[in-house]
Amino acid sequence: MSGARQQARGNGGIGMNGIILAARGLSKTYVQRSGRFGFGTTRVKALDDVNLEVKAGTTLAVVGESGSGKSTLARCLLQLQPLDAGEVLFEGQNLAALSGKALRAARRHLQMVFQDPFASLNPRMKVGDIVAEGLVIHGIGTAEQRRDSVARMLERVGLAAADMEKYPHQFSGGQRQRIGIARALVLEPKLVVCDEPVSALDVSIQAQILLLLKELQQEMGLSYLFISHDLRVVRHIADEVAVMHRGRIIEQGAVADLYAKPRQEYTRILLNSIPGRHRLAT
């Protein structure tokens, strides 16, 4: 891990003492229609003064339950949704201040892996085209070079180069998530936001995908922002953890410390809810 961290630092371009991504004072409020016929409105604070930092080459996990604001956080970090207040600094640059072209250039280095491997791949596109799409959009390489990169990436994530010619429905859930990972990583990003990447998978497949993500992190010097509601998974993938509750980050720290000595009652409740915690510990 520390090797990957140093390598990433050595790549240059990372400002702020090895912090690759920093969020300062993020706020976002949704106005929802409410009441039986939608005549009323309710304001929901999805993000409430959220601050966090991802160190280059490491994994920051954001844990929380449905409605805690963790997915809104992911979308706002990638500028897929406008913020009400606050700024997102990627390698020291304020993403909101970037123009269309510069933002697109930055986005190449900010990729995302989604939760549902069934819904996030276009069923009418061949796997090769799905994985190559980012390269095409960013104008990287010739058609032939792109084909090579895609083939290499597919092999790297445990699929075969020949899988380029197949369609998503021909793959299992775990394999589809490998395709989703290949699509994100073929662009050689610096930071990958993983939004519940293993929660739709069986436990046995989960372990495979988590190990794959860890290996790729080491090899490519990646930084991860890993969003999850599963504290068992987070314990294995994260270096640092931020606990989100009702739009706020209520506690943050190194993973081993936070699990051993949670300071907040809510964190304790989360940890105590881990299934099998009291009987499977060996």
Per CB under 8 A, residues contacting other proteins are: 65-66, 173, 202-208, 210-211, 229-233, 235-236, 255-256, 259, 269-282
- Residue 125 or 207 with smaller CB distance to other proteins: 207
Minimum distance, C-beta of residue 214 to other proteins, in the bound complex (Å):
8
Strand partners, 90: 21, 93
Minimum distance, C-beta of residue 269 to other proteins, in the bound complex (Å):
6
- Residue 169 or 278 with smaller CB distance to other proteins: 278
Minimum distance, C-beta of residue 138 to other proteins, in the bound complex (Å):
33
At 276, list the tokens: 């099998």
- Residue 112 or 241 with smaller CB distance to other proteins: 241
- Residue 103 or 274 with smaller CB distance to other proteins: 274
At 247, list the tokens: 């739009």
Minimum distance, C-beta of residue 264 to other proteins, in the bound complex (Å):
14
Q: CA-based angle 252:257:259, to the nearest 5?
A: 85
Under 8 Å between Cβ of 104 and 278:
no
- Residue 95 or 258 with smaller CB distance to other proteins: 258
Minimum distance, C-beta of residue 211 to other proteins, in the bound complex (Å):
6
Which residue, among 267, 237, 273, 247, has the nearest Cα to 61 in the 3D structure? 237
Minimum distance, C-beta of residue 277 to other proteins, in the bound complex (Å):
5
- Residue 111 or 267 with smaller CB distance to other proteins: 267
Sequence length of the chain is: 282
At 225, list the tokens: 């922002």
Write the CB contacts of 45 (distance below 8 Å, at least 6 apart in sequence): 27, 28, 29, 69, 246, 247
Beta strands in 145-230 (DSSP E): 191-195, 223-228
For residues 79 and 184, give the distance between their C-alpha atoms in angstroms, rounded to a whole number. Answer: 16
